[in-house]
Amino acid sequence: LTMGKYTSNTLQIYNTLSGKKEVFNPLNEGAIGMYVCGPTVYSNVHLGNVRTFMSFDMIFRYFKHLGYKVRYVRNITDAGHLENDADQGEDRIAKKARLEQIEPMEVVQRYTVDFHNILSIFNFLPPSIEPTATGHIVEQIEIIKSIIDKGYAYEANGSIYFDVIKYNESHDYGILSGRNIEDMAHNTRALDGQSDKKNPQDFALWKKAEPKHIMRWPSPWSDGFPGWHLECTAMSTKYLGESFDIHGGGMDLKFPHHECEIAQAKAWHNHSPVNYWMHANMLTLNGQKMAKSTGNNILPSEILNGDTDKLTKGFSPSVVRFFMMQAHYRSILDFSNDALLASEKGFLKLMEAVTSLSKIEATEVVNDFDVIKWKSNCYAAMNDDFNTPILIAELFSAVKYINQIKDNKASINNSSLAVLTETMQQFVFDILGLKTAVSNDQNHKLGETIELLIKMRNEARAQKDFALSDKIRDELIGIGIQLKDGKDGTTFLLD
Ligand code: AMP
Ligand code: ZN
């Protein structure tokens, strides 16, 4: 039996529930259960959504790197998420179906495919289980029955509401978000249909469907559909148990969504469902949260092909990923053309160093750089609540060293070269999830071919045949290969 790296790495995770960093101890040694709220598949994901999922992809990757056995559940919300996040308005998917005159399940299919496509472009690892809300209606009905039996939910006109005031008499509604129940009442607007509720803080577990509502399922109370918050309680419990290690999502889901998940679980089985609540911060554009509803967003396709007035050019998926990893997952990150250009520079510099590293030869001399200490700094950064910006700063001290060796201004011995190479590979590719043009054998041939074209372009330039050298460069751009001239020669970037 080999021991995982986790035995020698103490992880600190910021827990929203306690408001501080805590030492991470999973319920079962060597294994982690993690649930992340997935997308509501009623439209194309925007780059803000991508950021949240990418934060958890990086976390998932690091856990796996440490040798944990991770069961990572990320759901697909394909019913029940209403327009205003509370209990009002039209179902987002049903509305889209009505506007487009297609079936709700056609909407679901179209945007689930888009979601998966985008994630694979950005080099995400697939989760272990990807359950859908509509596939778990039976489980949700059973939970509602149980919550009614325990006295924490009531029926009104065929809908079932969670009784927040009753629950709060013996529990702690607001424990996650820090909101207090009186303020919540004042902040809840009295909208149409809320008259069914005993109190404005109450939220729906089951909604009776209007006659025209096509997304409906039979239940003991009415033909209707489940509440959005209940879906995640049903799916997380089914696959991870009544108590599990980590629940994640974007910061904006803390309230009401996650607060309600805690209340449902405690009302149902009386213990806290999640040990570590993790919230990823928002991607902003012009200082405002990227959101579908306001139009203040950028789509992955727009950033890849540069087809938007917000950008001067397109950027490769790995540059976007590098840009996101340069910020800590709990910090707000503002999107801009300048920031992307700066990230592209940094990314290329990192990739050039990785390439140089593969060509370096060791010498039997004293090292000019403490590789072992550097490696432990890389782990320390990640162990400190997944601090990727600090990790990247560490990677760049290695880049500096690599460039010095390349310029014969420093040297490295055999064993240090092995550690440096392995550690760079692991952090750059396995953990940050970046991709280089020449990362495997097949791409190697492509890389060699491009190198050949670069050489021919240089020959054309030397003979002052600029028509030919420009043609080579432009045609390569046309097929998604960008050449970059630097002081050490020309490098390339694949879309
Ligand atoms: P939704 O499909 O609206 O449920 O959102 C999917 C995920 O994207 C949720 O975890 C949200 O918190 C997250 N999200 C939405 N907008 C942003 C944003 N501007 N930046 C980062 N994450 C976001
Ligand atoms: Zn959720």
Which residue in 299, 311, 296 sits closest to 118, CA to CA?
A: 299
State residue 85's pLDDT score. Answer: 61
Give the residue whose CA is nearest to atom 1 of ligand 1.
39
State residue 86's pLDDT score. Answer: 62
Q: Which atom of ligand 1 lies closest to the CA of 290?
A: 19
Give the residue whose CA is nearest to atom 10 of ligand 1.
250
Q: Which atom of ligand 1 lies closest to the CA of 38?
A: 6
Question: 477 CA to middle of ligand 2, Å?
Answer: 41
Question: 37 CA to middle of ligand 2, Å?
Answer: 4
Give the residue whose CA is nearest to atom 9 of ligand 1.
250
283 Cβ below 6 A of ligand 1:
yes
250 Cβ below 6 A of ligand 1:
yes
Which residue in 155, 241, 224 sits closest to 196, CA to CA?
A: 155
Ligand 1 pocket test target in 47, 49, 58, 290 with most atoms within 8 Å of CB: 49
Amino acid (1-letter code) at residue 10:
T
Give the residue whose CA is nearest to atom 17 of ligand 1.
48
* Beta-carbon count within 10 A of 330 CB: 16
47 Cβ below 6 A of ligand 1:
no
494 Cβ below 6 A of ligand 1:
no
49 Cβ below 6 A of ligand 1:
yes
Which residue in 332, 327, 247 sits closest to 281, CA to CA?
A: 332
Q: Which atom of ligand 1 lies closest to the CA of 36?
A: 10
Q: Encode pLDDT of 183-230 as tens digits.
A: 776 555 544 455 689 999 999 999 999 888 888 999 999 999 999 999
* Cis amide leading into 104 (omega within 30): no
Contact 233, 262 (CB under 8 A): no
Pairwise CA distance, residues 50 & 321, whole Å: 10
Which residue in 369, 323, 378, 173 sits closest to 260, CA to CA?
A: 173
38 Cβ below 6 A of ligand 1:
no
Give the residue whose CA is nearest to atom 11 of ligand 1.
250
Pairwise CA distance, residues 252 & 347, whole Å: 30
State residue 89's pLDDT score. Answer: 77
Q: Encode pLDDT of 441-479 as tens digits.
A: 556 678 778 989 999 999 999 999 999 999 999 999 888
Question: 1 CA to middle of ligand 2, Å?
Answer: 36
State residue 440's pLDDT score. Answer: 45
Q: For the chain, list residues with pLDDT below 70.
A: 1-2, 84-86, 185-195, 437-444, 495
CA-only gyration radius of the chain, Å: 26
Question: 47 CA to middle of ligand 1, Å?
Answer: 9
Terminal alpha carbon distance of the chain: 41
Question: 66 CA to middle of ligand 1, Å?
Answer: 27
Pairwise CA distance, residues 256 & 261, whole Å: 9
